[in-house]
Amino acid sequence: LKIVLKIGGNEIDDAGFLEKVSQLAADIIENHHKLVIVHGGGKEITNLLTKLNIQTKFVKGLRYTDAHSLDVIEMVLSGSINKRLVKYLQQKKVDTIGLSGIDGNLLVARKISREGEDIGLVGEVHKVNTLLLEKLIDQFTVVLSPISITENCTSLNVNADYAAAAVASALKSELVIFLSDVPGVLKDGIVIKNIHEKEYIEMKKLGIISGGMVPKIEASLQALRGGALKAFITNVEGVHGTIFETVDNKTFIATQVLI
Ligand SMILES: Nc1ncnc2c1ncn2[C@@H]1O[C@H](COP(=O)(O)OP(=O)(O)OP(=O)(O)O)[C@@H](O)[C@H]1O
Ligand SMILES: [Mg+2]
């Protein structure tokens, strides 16, 4: 299988979490699957921006990005977090290459607004260097920072969920998994097993789904429309079931997004 795994940034500085994720990657590779890991970095980005006295705000789940913020975001995502993941995976003997969307024009993006609101230097991916990515995943696990490149060769900040969707679509991956700090899409504290677009729209209207969960579900839908076969939202505890189907239906906790 070609598996795209998006890892959220909320726990990416936690040694226990990194240990679990890298062991998961090792298990995936041992089972002869191909793997691309796309990562976020929300919490660490906010921490560094705060230290540097740069204001940070979110517009409908997306971070408003001015030029100063973009410098910092790129440092954190394509620098410290990307290389941290590479080191953890290589410690598990997983042959890994860490890149950003800039390298080899892996992710080419253009600037977007969010529901009519300006959000600064934020983009959406409109072209993936699929040929290069296919070649790379034959030999390596690719760890990909979502910072993308424009046609004019400048950087844009792309939400990692959407970047993962673009990668999953380009590869027509059998499985795209959004790992976050929640076990799935929650309603009244309970994980919803399946969610269709219609229910998503309804739950978003009611405020049951908000913040960072919005891009995650939209990205899942984009990936499925783009040709990915299955999309799950879960946490590191729930992910094993989605890939290895090692747990029964009762203990299996994850949300499958359906179109
Ligand atoms: N119905 C919901 N079910 C579960 N989580 C929800 C829901 N509505 C909103 N959320 C929020 O969405 C968050 C997950 O998105 P968030 O963007 O914070 O994490 P991430 O995407 O994993 O990390 P990053 O943005 O750094 O890549 C949850 O922690 C929760 O606060
Ligand atoms: Mg997010």
Give per-residue pLDDT as tens, 75-127.
Answer: 999 999 999 999 999 999 999 999 999 999 999 999 999 889 999 999 999 99
Q: Residue 212: name the closest of 78, 69, 40, 73 by CA.
A: 40
The protein residue with its alpha carbon nearest to ligand 1, atom 10, reads 213
Residue position matching structure tokens 């298990």 = 27
**158 close to 167: Cβ distance less than 8 angstroms:** no
Best probe residue, ligand 1, of 47, 63, 190, 213 (max atoms within 8 Å of C-beta) = 213
Spell 149-160 as b/e; 16+ CB within 10 A means b: bbeeeebbbbbb
Nearest listed ligand to the Cα of residue 185: 1
User: For ligand 1, is residue 184 a contact (CB within 6 Å)?
Assistant: no
pLDDT of residue 59: 87
- State both tokens at 214: 């919005």
What integer is the mean pLDDT of 186-211? 97
pLDDT of residue 220: 98
- State both tokens at 48: 């560094």
**107 close to 101: Cβ distance less than 8 angstroms:** yes
Residue position matching structure tokens 């179109």 = 259
From CA 21, how far away is CA 136, in angstroms rounded? 20
pLDDT of residue 100: 98
pLDDT of residue 249: 77
pLDDT of residue 245: 81
pLDDT for residue 252 is more than 90: no
User: For ligand 1, is residue 213 a contact (CB within 6 Å)?
Assistant: yes
State the average pLDDT for the chain.
Answer: 95
Query: What number does the ligand 1 atom closest to the CA of 42 have?
Result: 26
What is the distance, to the nearest Å, from the Cα of residue 179 to the centroid of all Cα atoms in its chain? 8
Distance 181 CA to ligand 2 centre (A): 10
Percent above pLDDT 70 for the chain: 100
Best probe residue, ligand 1, of 4, 10, 233 (max atoms within 8 Å of C-beta) = 10
- State both tokens at 178: 């959004």
Maximum pairwise Cα distance, the chain: 51
pLDDT of residue 215: 92
Reduced to 3 states (helix: H, G, I; strand: E, B; else coil), residue 62 is strand
Give per-residue pLDDT as tens, 162-196.
Answer: 999 999 999 999 999 999 999 999 999 999 999 99
From CA 163, how far away is CA 165, in angstroms rounded? 5
Residue position matching structure tokens 């299988």 = 1
pLDDT of residue 56: 87
**Which residues are near ligand 2, the ion (C-beta closer than 5 Å)?**
212
pLDDT for residue 247 is more than 80: no
Best probe residue, ligand 1, of 180, 187, 216 (max atoms within 8 Å of C-beta) = 180
- State both tokens at 189: 């504290």
pLDDT of residue 10: 87
Q: Residue 162: name the closest of 126, 195, 131, 194 by CA.
A: 126
pLDDT of residue 246: 77
Reduced to 3 states (helix: H, G, I; strand: E, B; else coil), residue 11 is coil
pLDDT of residue 41: 93
Distance 42 CA to ligand 1 centre (A): 10
Give per-residue pLDDT as tens, 34-60.
Answer: 999 999 998 999 999 999 999 888 888
CA neighbours closer than 13 Å in the CB half-sphere of residue 117 = 12
Distance 42 CA to ligand 2 centre (A): 7
Residues with Cβ within 8 Å of residue 224, at least 6 apart in sequence: 230, 231, 257, 258, 259
Read off the pTM: 0.96
Residue position matching structure tokens 């991916």 = 125
Distance 162 CA to ligand 2 centre (A): 9
User: For ligand 1, is residue 9 a contact (CB within 6 Å)?
Assistant: yes
